[in-house]
Amino acid sequence: MTIDTHTHINEGIYSTGEYLSVLDTYSVSKVWISSVGGITAHGKYRESNEFLYRFCKGHEDRLIGFCSVNPNCGMEVIDELKKCKEVYGFFGLKLHPWLQGFPVPSRIMDLITEECIRNGMPMIFHDGTPPYSSTLQIANLAERYPDAIIILGHSGLIEMYDDAISAARRLKNIYLSVCGPSICQLQKIVSSVPDDRVMFGSDFGFSKSINGLKYRLDMWNYVDMEESLRNKLFYLNAEALMGGLK
């Protein structure tokens, strides 16, 4: 069983049926999914959230929606967050400070975080890309808001994976979606981070190619770990998080 905690859908790339067929090919039972448009189009996150809702509709048991908002749009994003939770039933929030061009240390991000805490919505961030998406900037938000669930969507990528390890070891509200580091870095991550806070991610869905999903899955064949930890990484930790925040 596999739960992929970091996927996307780009409008017009896949139909829902095609997307699910790819997941079936690789035995992926559930995905945490966000819209590419929501993290790239300034001000058009509402349309992207509505598209994601329609894309997932009827398959919410497998397609776990993560809405997007653009903090540059100010207080209007708070109403959208409420709608995404109450009307669309989305599970969490995806943010990409580097593509969206906003600083994590800001008043509007504080308000967004507080709203996510109220709604029980985990926040997954693109991390590992300075200047706006450095791993420790996001970890600082987690430190200031210990009740928030903060997921580092790339575990620091190649250059900041050590920062992701340090953050997850220090802060109990930080989870790692392990998607981006090299194989030897994956080994260090699973050997160093508390085993209840690592989760599989692939970054699948930006394009029509399915090679990225296969590649991310295959990487783990070369990482040495106990079967109990492998089960936690591939599905149990994500499952526990979903169950705990319902």
Residue from 118, 102, 170 nearest 140 by CA: 170
Residue from 222, 171, 161, 223 nearest 194 by CA: 171
Degrees to nearest 5, angle at CA 38 with 97 and 202 = 75
pTM over 0.75: yes
How far is residue 28's CA from residue 3's CA, in Å, rounded to a whole number?
6
CA 55 to chain centre: 18
Please state, rounded to an integer, the average pLDDT across all residues of the chain. Answer: 95
For range 9-34, the mean pLDDT: 94
Length of the chain (residues): 246
Question: What does the pLDDT read at residue 206?
Answer: 82
Contact between 120 and 92 under an 8 Å Cβ cutoff? The reply is no
* Residue position matching structure tokens 């996510």: 116
Question: What does the pLDDT read at residue 246?
Answer: 55
pLDDT tier at 244, thresholds 50, 70, 90: low
- 172-229 pLDDT tens trace: 999 999 999 999 999 999 999 999 999 999 999 987 777 889 999 999 999 999 999 9
What are the structural domains of the chain? 3-244 (3.20.20.140)
For range 241-245, the mean pLDDT: 80
The DSSP code sequence of 46-96 is HHHHHHHHHHHTT-TTTEEEEEE--GGGTTHHHHHHHHHHHTS---EEEE-
